[in-house]
Amino acid sequence: MTATTNPENANEPSPALLLRLYREMVRLRTLDERMMTLQRQGRVGFYGACTGQEAATLASAIAFEPDDWIFQALRESSAMLMRGFSMITYLCQVFGNEGDITKGRQMPSHMAGRSVNQVSWGSCLGTQLPQAVGAAMAARIKGEKMVVAAYTGDGATSEGDFHVALNFAGVFKAPVVFICQNNHWAISVPTSKQTASESIAIKAQAYGMPGVKVDGNDAVAVYRAVKAAVDRARAGQGPSLVECETYRIGAHSSSDDPTRYRDEREVEAWRKRDPIEQLRGKLVNDKHWDLPRDEAMRAELLAEVNAAIDEAERKPDPPREGLFDDVYAEMPWHLREQREELLAAPPVPRPDAKQIAGK
């Protein structure tokens, strides 16, 4: 199955799964909208929203089992929440405060959680792909039935890591599923400047694995394609490449101004294909959902997100002396001296959220 569209297979999502997926997609949209507002208010330093790509992100991730590992790119962190990760702890990684399980040392919006088998993405594009293949090979050597999700954007397919990872996985039949979120823009560079191929999916042919292209805004199509690839990998039949054609409605990140490089008419055309609205329409048409329940759910999710933000934002900064922890097994004399010097200096007070928002 190579470079086809919306493959027919037996992996039909149940109504219960689609309802859960819809809730997760709406929660993600709600969270992203609130966090972008906080960034504009100066309450967090950086954030990357997933707006317009919720189906490609979550409908693919839900096709994996809880014991499978996810090696994410920029916009898949939210799969952690779907896997049961605490939203408060998740947000603490954005704030980089005392509640951050990475102790405030990670870059913002690089969320990760060992408890849900999800690895942080790297700002150097594509580096997670060979790592994902390595994890998949390790699982196979250990006799585990684990499958690894290896996410990438269209821009990272121009990196050498993409080709190294697919080649190795293809040769050694690694139990890994490569998922490319082709949102048409690698920051300001369009996909047409990334490849002369007719698609990303067709590249799978060169590496001896199936490649399939699906409508990334169609949650059902995404789930079908990824679930088939996951089942194939778990059965020992090797890797696959799934290209989800979608669109980044907003900016690349809170540091980006997309009006400088793309036509707003293109954005509006894709906005009419909103993946959340498409899934809601299907659920309503199939008599599994209705407007009153939708309104109640959205109000509930907004309250959940606001409560999580409020609790996460109240946590203090990590202790200053934590800078010197985990560097050496035994702290050397020069770090002990620096630590003592730091502790002797008065801390700089941090303004609270209300002070920041009021400026």
Residue 261 designated active-site: yes
Assign 179 to helix, strand or coil.
strand
Assign 321 to helix, strand or coil.
helix
How far apart CA 66 and CA 29 sit, in angstroms, is 23
How far apart CA 315 and CA 100 sit, in angstroms, is 10
C-beta of residue 297 within 8 angstroms of C-beta of residue 23: yes
From the candidates 261, 314, 320, 350, which is the catalytic residue?
261
C-beta of residue 244 within 8 angstroms of C-beta of residue 180: yes
Predicted local distance difference test score (pLDDT) of residue 353: 56
**What are the sequence ranges of the domains in the chain?**
2-313, 320-358
pLDDT < 50 regions, the chain: 1-8
Residue 288 designated active-site: no
**CB neighbour burial string for 312-323, b if at least 16 within 10 angstroms, e if fewer:** bbeeeebeeeeb
Assign 243 to helix, strand or coil.
strand
Q: What DSSP letter does each residue of 211-233 carry, written as one string? A: EEEEETT-HHHHHHHHHHHHHHH
Predicted local distance difference test score (pLDDT) of residue 108: 82
How far apart CA 356 and CA 359 sit, in angstroms, is 6
C-beta of residue 184 within 8 angstroms of C-beta of residue 190: yes
Q: Can you say whether the dihedral through the CA atoms of 269, 21, 258, 43 is positive or negative? A: positive
DSSP state of 345: S
CATH superfamily of 2-313: Thiamin diphosphate (ThDP)-binding fold, Pyr/PP domains (3.40.50.970)
Q: Can you say whether the dihedral through the CA atoms of 269, 271, 274, 277 is positive or negative? A: negative
Assign 9 to helix, strand or coil.
coil
From the candidates 110, 224, 232, 252, which is the catalytic residue?
252
Q: Which amino acid is at 347?
A: P
The 3-state DSSP composition of the chain as helix, strand, coil percent (nearest 5) reads 50, 10, 40
Q: What DSSP letter does each residue of 193-205 carry, written as one string? A: GT-SSS-SGGGGG
Rg of the chain over CA atoms, in angstroms?
21
From the candidates 43, 140, 232, 248, which is the catalytic residue?
248
Residue 248 designated active-site: yes
Nearest to 52 by CA among 223, 215, 288, 227: 215
Q: Can you say whether the dihedral through the CA atoms of 138, 141, 147, 150 is positive or negative? A: positive
